[in-house]
Structure 1
């Protein structure tokens, strides 16, 4: 298993990611330094309090701007508050303070969403005796739109799809962001049958008058790429395209990779906790059995036909083995793939534009 990082190493990684990656993409250098100066330990409650402290003034300013009918400025202030509350729950809300940060992140994100273009619509889809909350953004101009179901992995919940939703909107596609099984507000944990939440979302979208039911795609990032791959098989007839971005499908779910990659050098902190919470277990030893049950090869999916699939990752990924990209190419329907330089997800300036261009072609 990888080495758990010391506090100084975590601080150095946060400084490097500020303005670039994860929830730190929206962070301001002065706010980050204010938080880091007060982080005297890795206590998750201290972490939550400090990020909440810098979030609160932006939330309060957003409310003042909203009352003054300065809606675009209010939106920006709420998005800033959201980024800090989301960081406060990062990577997973496993303590009371982090859970409160998670609740606040959704509250201020939905306030900001009223002023997105098109506006954010929160929908709760019936799912047995539970609900699947999703965020939908579709222009209300009487047309039917192609739509992309968009979600992240173990630490990137539906509101963190914001940057990707914006990119899809600019390319003329509508967006639907959701939480994958085991994270955020998803009503079920990860399991070999948890794809049912995605099927329920597709069922809902097909019935909307503003969605072109023949042009529904799915995009999963990091662990979410696993579910995008599985849905490409499960819903081969109803999905027009699938993006598997940094997701594992077989080798990722082997015991040696689980132990080797947990707390990878590229992961900030609490990797083991975030992975365990997907399945509702408390240790890596407990995790092994439900983890290995997700292999798409062992489930018998790889030989089956799929919808068009684009598989993307970084050549030197330490969290997801690049071999899982190649095994998808070796079985079943022909697929597209692109390997980028770098680590997890191959995050270069060209990566997301490449994905958007491919989606535009497939959904045209």
Structure 2
């Protein structure tokens, strides 16, 4: 794990987790995990909360849940109950995925073992899926440190005749391609849209392949363009109707990809984001939030020197470039988001020339756990409307009340 000046504060986070449970990471985090958007089993989350006393023990509790669910899945599978097996394999993949995230070390045998378990479980989800789903390899050539020539994604396809409009799902920094969309309750498939979920540079399986995110070379944005190149080869996809949708830091890469595309082939028809992380320079995430946020991003970026990393942090800034986007923009955020305030997002949107909409959910924090279903589903509806060519207001800031 990269060391930063605040690494000595990690014990504080452990004490908070030990006292308050995993929700101490962020208010609403476990509610989001339990929502149909992710689809964690509630009993598993109760076990994780009850037995987690810090970051290291969190890894172990997630692993135990993964093993438990994998054993249930294998038993159901051996009896021929593939629908039951699929659900348990999905629960297992979620648990193993979060367990491996806590290991921030290149070439770690532990991280690889946990990640392999996540991949193996999700391979069974794909095998027994009730709609077409496949793991794909997207051609992509990056700097010499990355020896492979592809990066992975999971393509979800609606049943029936295509070609279908497609949403490229961009995960956040603590997410991976197997987590969203939930194959047991896929909000995009239900609306007739295909989804390509990415492990982009610095994420999930790509991180184990040593494909790091390079903020100074636009390599995540170029990877999204490579994903569009790939989708253009698929007859099931209507390549004239492609949108991006990102969560947390993915909400930053989504419009950044639209900026990159506007400068080149301009193929993105809508750019959406949820749990906005648009704060210029990511100051709160890197300097004031829990220390593991910054150390994880440094790990994703392949930076061991905090000084070198800090010199590149100012490159995280949408203010000057957002005006280049030509497609409609959607950003969804909690009123009390602790990483980026609604005022900061509104100030950046003021520079946008494309039609844009912002939804601010009352009394919600960064995970938006209390409104996960409505926020994600309304975003999916908005994306479908844009891909169908329905007009959108030039500028709309909507504050959404909740119970």
Instruction: Provide the residue aligned with 1:252 in structure 2.
Output: 280
Aligned match for 2:304, one of 264, 276, 282: 282
Deviates most, 210-219 or 129-138: 129-138
Bigger drift between 308-317 and 133-142 goes to 133-142
Q: Secondary structure at the match of 1:191?
A: coil
**Which ranges of structure 2 fall in alignment gaps of 5 or more residues?**
1-5, 142-147, 389-403
> Looking at both structures, which has the greater relative contact order when contacts are Cα pairs under 8 Å and sequence separation is at least 6?
2
Q: Secondary structure at the match of 2:322?
A: coil
Does residue 84 (structure 1) correspond to residue 95 (structure 2)? The answer is yes
Q: Which residue of 1 aligns with 2:40?
A: 26
Q: Report the 3-state secondary structure (helix = DSSP H, G, I; strand = E; otherwise coil) of the residue aligned with 2:384.
A: helix
Deviation sequence 1:145-200 (CA, Å, 0-9, x none): 01111121110111111338711111221111002321212333232321111100
Partner Cα distance (1:86, 1:60) in 2: 16
The gaps in structure 1 that reach 5 residues or longer are 264-268
| Counterpart residue number, 2:400 | none
- Kept after mapping to 2: 8 A contact 1:79/1:109: yes
- Equivalent residue for 2:257, pick from 231, 236, 251: 231
1:321-340 alignment runs, 5 A limit: 321-331=341-351, 332-340=353-361
1:223 Cα deviation after fit: 0.4
Cα deviation, residue 327, structure 1: 3.1
Q: What CA distance in whole angstroms lies between the structure 2 residues aligned with 1:319 and 1:225? A: 12
| Equivalent-residue separation in structure 1 for 2:333 and 2:131 (angstroms) | 30
Task: Give the whole-Å Cα distance in 2 for the aligned partners of 1:59 and 1:112.
Answer: 11
Task: Return closer, same or farther for 1:235/1:99 CA change in 2, 3 Å cut-off.
Answer: same
**What is the number of equivalent residue pairs in this alignment?**
352
2: CA distance between counterparts of 1:107 and 1:330?
Answer: 45
* Cα distance between partner residues in 1 of 2:289 and 2:305: 11
**Are 2:362 and 1:355 aligned?**
no
CA distance in 2, matches of 1:101, 1:211: 33
After TM superposition, the structure 1 = structure 2 runs for residues 151-300 of structure 1, keeping only pairs within 5 Å, are 151-163=170-182, 166-186=186-206, 187-192=211-216, 193-194=218-219, 195-236=221-262, 237-249=266-278, 251-253=279-281, 256-263=283-290, 270-282=292-304, 284-297=306-319, 300=320
TM-score normalised according to structure 2 size: 0.78
Aligned residues: CA RMSD = 2.8
**TM-score normalised by L of structure 1:** 0.86
Distance in 2 (alpha carbons) for counterparts of 1:324 and 1:158: 28
> Which is further off, 192-201 or 276-285?
276-285
1:10 pairs with one of 2, 17, 27: 17
| SS of structure 2 residue aligned to 1:333 | coil
Distance 1:346 1:51 in 2: 22
8 Å contact kept, 2:280–2:318: no
CA spacing shift, 1:253–1:22, aligned 2, 3 Å = farther
Deviation at 1:303, TM superposition (A): 2.6
Does 2:82 align with 1:71? yes
